[in-house]
Structure 1
Amino acid sequence: MDNAVTFITYLNTFMLIFFTALYSYKIIYILVAIWTKRRHRPEAGSIPPFNKYAVIIAARNEALVIGQLIKSIKNQKYPAGNIDIFVVADNCTDNTAEVAEKAGAIVRERFNDKKVGKGYALDHMLGIIEDEYSDRQYDGFFIFDADNLLEENYVAKMNDTFNRGYRIVTSYRNSKNFDRNWISSGYSIWFLHEAEYVNRPRMLLNNSGAISGTGFLVGADVFRENGGWVHHLLTEDIEFTVSQVIRGEKIGYSDAMFYDEQPVTFNQSWKQRMRWAKGFYQVFGAYGGKLAKGIFSGRGNSFSCFDMAMTIMPALLLTFFSVTINGFFFLAGLLIWDLDGNKAIIMATSAAFLGTISWIYLMLFIIGAVTMMSERDKVHCAGWKKVAYTFTFPLFMLTYIPIAITALFKDVEWQPIAHTEAKSIEEMQ
């Protein structure tokens, strides 16, 4: 019996040390972000050259929101002649194409029930631009979802970072509906943290950032080298990121702000994050070996490869492994061993389980609290909600554990998320 308790103690100690060793560098990211926030950060402006950009929006039944996005693009403080807007109305059954064209976009419709997903829509539009608009010689392509809204200096700030030599640039992702409930705020806090406490310090430390679904810029030469948008796993954004990092690309970050709508029901959130979890497994399976090779290659992208490996590694499954082993001994203690042994086993496993959950909650709470304190002026909701949702943020993140476990065994397909927040950029400001 003593051997079983000793094994449990050693196992949980090892898991704690192992996790700390793998992810301690994230603390450095946070410290770098906090330190640099204390220093003066000059306001970015429209610094020449004014590159020519094509904006690509893949939209599926987005008539309610797409007009406001196009309006926010047209209101940019950037030479209007240097921005063209392209919308691919992908398998739409509403009047998305009509609304987008009326708002001033170049629109093409696409109908394909076999090749379903944003990646296929993006590649379709890239092909059209190559065939029909090659004379415009775009320097880069912005990728947005139809529910996004851009601050008026968004393109100018992204152009500044692009001019610094970054061929791929990600940006600051804020939320249109932070204040709806604990689900939308959970997403929002994570995206704010990812922007300022992950991607920004990555760039400051000369590592690669990561794009996150929408709100990013890709140089035209990158797409030419890749042969278009060739990434079609369930998380095409992280697949694109990992593939570029392996090739030695460093993705830059700009604090150019855009707004995004988050799911508000647990059913919507479950389906979306199930796709993300399954997609991460797919990317890990497809690129994990190449990332491992990159880590030990000795090239300048070694740490970026390690960072991406930690990003896509199914860390929640390691937590699940620890909980499962403890649960096994807990049940065995109930069913097999003598009464005194039962007490020792049950106490050890219960303490381990409560300790693990408490430790995870505390770490997530610190992340949420630090993020909310620094970004509070950019979050549009009542002060008491900012405080309340800081406490619910760890609970939202902990729901990833059953999602990650379910995604291991369930077939997952891409499904659109309906958008309902038809706000203008003026309302957000």
Structure 2
Amino acid sequence: MNYVEIVNLVFTCIFGLYGLLMLHFVIFGIIGVFTYKKYPKTDVINKYGLIIPARNEEKVVGNLIESIHKSDYPQDKLHIFVIAHNCTDNTAEVARRLQKEGFANISVYEYNNPNECTMGYAFRHLFSCIEKDYGTQSFDGFFIFNADNIVEKNYFTKMNDAFEYYDHQYVVTSFRNSKNFGSNIMSGLYGMYFALGCVCEFRGRNVCGCSTRIAGCGYVISSKVVENGWPYVTLTEDWEFSADQILDSNKIRYCDEAIFYDEQPTTFKVMWRQRVRWSRGHLLVLYSRVKDLLKALFSPKTKHRMSTFDIAMNCLPFCLVLGFIGILQYILLAFAPCFGIDYNTVLFGNQANEWWYNLLLGDGALWGLARSTIGTYFGMLALAIIVFIVCRKRIFHVSLGKKILVSLLWPLFLMIQFPIDFVAMCSRNLGWKVIPHDDKTTINTLDEKRKN
């Protein structure tokens, strides 16, 4: 066995070990495609506070409030709290006008501090106001939304069933659909991102009794979680919150029958900016929580060991890890000439064969990389098609042509995570910037599209 064969064998084992650590992702995904957990209907009607952070959301916040008002849950058990956070528009005025027009139980707060821009700061300020004016424990739980969301009419009823099923003990998240899925290809790719997460990540974990994670918004927490306020103010407070819930021996469960809608970015520029921020926030959570997660993983006191292992693996930057391992392999292969092996042979193998033969069976490093890339592409393509099939009754407002284009481009949408993670890793003073929301979709609009 020569030097190149030894290097390749070692890294095959490393990639195999890493794949084994991630194997449960595949298992959960397969389970999620075929089944999900349903919750029995409860007669208990809990009282909820609905948290809506809004930064320059005057065009959309009213649509969320309207969908809440049209839900089938008793309105006297829902209290809407809007926090206009560093706004320069009429967001607060729009919410107050709806209150005057008969949308009862709306409280509007304003908070301006340019040094505290992330959504977590809005939560922290709002929960302190709620504690002062109402008492957080006067509510059974709190829903966390974004101002651009809208909810299905049975959303709160279904979430209440799940929340009561777990005796208020666990956080419960829901199916994140996209109200502008069919606006263009970019919004469709984002819509696929969240739909795939719900189908292949949340559903399987929930069926198997493993904790899932929070994905931005659309979840309910017990009032006990915020009895001492809201401490999470990083770029990705959802990841930080998810990790801490599991470290506190809690779980995050999922209700597939509760559907809310989100507005997705429609341009590459906004997509890149948002995903770099997500990636940077993800890394910050890794830096601050991985030690505690690993410690909990081997502690005899840990109650949910699989959930702890799962969130620890989720916190790892998958693309950076794979990229680092791959680059290290190619660096070591570059020393092949020192052992009397031609470097062109290392990269391309036997050049006597046709290119298609080398692509299928060639032993050159670049041919192997090409096979992996092509295999990944078609694997992700198949996954997108499966999600469209599973969610065919939910993704009803997208043409067949756009579904095909989204499926074809979906693998590329994932692959650009490699440069995104690298940029995020090198960024030090990455701030939070507003994501523009102006989609005028209402719950009535979605109902009309569903009928057509």
TM-score, scaled to structure 1: 0.92
1:318 correspondence with 2:321? yes
Alignment correspondent of 2:23: 24
Distance 1:330 1:29, change over 3 A: same
Distance 1:136 1:223, change over 3 A: closer
Distance 1:31 1:217, change over 3 A: same
1:5 correspondence with 2:4? yes
1:222 correspondence with 2:225? yes
Alignment correspondent of 1:399: 416
Q: 1:92 aligns with which of 87, 92, 96?
A: 87
Residue by residue over 1:189-234, the C-alpha shift from the partner in whole angstroms, topping out at 9 and shown as x without a partner, is 121122122112212211112111111111101111xx21101221
Distance in 2 between residues matched to 1:98 and 1:11, nearest whole Å = 63
Output aligned runs, 1:389-428, within 5 Å.
389-411=406-428, 412-428=430-446
Identity of aligned residues (%): 33
Distance in 2 between residues matched to 1:249 and 1:75, nearest whole Å = 32
Q: 2:398 aligns with which of 377, 381, 384?
A: 381
Give the Å deviation of 1:376. 1.8
Distance 1:263 1:8, change over 3 A: farther
Give the Å deviation of 1:19. 3.1
| 3-state SS in 1 of match to 2:145 | strand
Task: Say whether the 8 Å CA contact 2:54–2:146 is kept in structure 1.
Answer: yes
Output aligned runs, 1:23-422, within 5 Å.
23-36=22-35, 47-104=42-99, 105-134=106-135, 137-165=138-166, 166-224=169-227, 227-255=228-256, 256-298=258-300, 299-328=302-331, 341-347=342-348, 348-379=364-395, 380-411=397-428, 412-422=430-440
Distance in 1 between residues matched to 2:163 and 2:198, nearest whole Å = 17
Distance in 2 between residues matched to 1:138 and 1:270, nearest whole Å = 38
Task: Say whether the 8 Å CA contact 2:187–2:266 is kept in structure 1.
Answer: yes
Could you tell which deviates more after superposition, 294-303 or 55-64?
294-303
Task: Say whether the 8 Å CA contact 2:72–2:157 is kept in structure 1.
Answer: yes
Distance in 1 between residues matched to 2:151 and 2:233, nearest whole Å = 26
Residue 324 of structure 1 aligns with an amino acid whose one-letter code is I
Distance in 2 between residues matched to 1:286 and 1:374, nearest whole Å = 37
Give the Å deviation of 1:179. 1.8
Give the Å deviation of 1:18. 2.2
Q: How many pairs does the alignment contain?
A: 420
Distance 1:42 1:19, change over 3 A: closer
Distance in 2 between residues matched to 1:425 and 1:301, nearest whole Å = 38
Question: For structure 2, which runs of at least 5 residues remain unmatched after alignment?
Answer: 100-105, 349-363, 448-452
Question: For structure 1, which runs of at least 5 residues remain unmatched after alignment?
Answer: none
Task: Say whether the 8 Å CA contact 1:185–1:393 is kept in structure 2.
Answer: no
Task: Say whether the 8 Å CA contact 2:38–2:255 is kept in structure 1.
Answer: no
Residue 188 of structure 2 aligns with an amino acid whose one-letter code is S
Residue by residue over 1:275-318, the C-alpha shift from the partner in whole angstroms, topping out at 9 and shown as x without a partner, is 11111111111110111122222433110011101111011112
Give the Å deviation of 1:43. 8.2
Residue 265 of structure 2 aligns with an amino acid whose one-letter code is P
Distance 1:11 1:358, change over 3 A: farther
| 3-state SS in 1 of match to 2:368 | helix
Residue by residue over 1:372-397, the C-alpha shift from the partner in whole angstroms, topping out at 9 and shown as x without a partner, is 21112211201232222112111101
| 3-state SS in 1 of match to 2:440 | coil
Residue 16 of structure 2 aligns with an amino acid whose one-letter code is I
Could you tell which deviates more after superposition, 87-96 or 368-377?
368-377
Runs of 4 or more, structure 1, over 4 Å off, are: 41-45, 329-333, 336-340
Task: Say whether the 8 Å CA contact 1:144–1:214 is kept in structure 2.
Answer: yes
Residue by residue over 1:34-63, the C-alpha shift from the partner in whole angstroms, topping out at 9 and shown as x without a partner, is 3426xxx76865x32100011011100000
Distance in 2 between residues matched to 1:409 and 1:187, nearest whole Å = 24
Give the Å deviation of 1:362. 3.3
Residue 112 of structure 2 aligns with an amino acid whose one-letter code is F
Residue 304 of structure 2 aligns with an amino acid whose one-letter code is N
Distance in 2 between residues matched to 1:101 and 1:263, nearest whole Å = 27
Task: Say whether the 8 Å CA contact 1:186–1:397 is kept in structure 2.
Answer: no
Residue 266 of structure 2 aligns with an amino acid whose one-letter code is V
Distance in 1 between residues matched to 2:136 and 2:388, nearest whole Å = 46
Distance 1:14 1:50, change over 3 A: same
TM-score, scaled to structure 2: 0.88
Give RMSD over aligned pairs.
2.2
Distance 1:323 1:52, change over 3 A: same
| 3-state SS in 1 of match to 2:401 | helix
| 3-state SS in 2 of match to 1:321 | helix
Distance 1:12 1:368, change over 3 A: farther
Residue by residue over 1:390-416, the C-alpha shift from the partner in whole angstroms, topping out at 9 and shown as x without a partner, is 121111011111000111111211111
Distance 1:7 1:312, change over 3 A: same
Task: Say whether the 8 Å CA contact 1:8–1:349 is kept in structure 2.
Answer: no
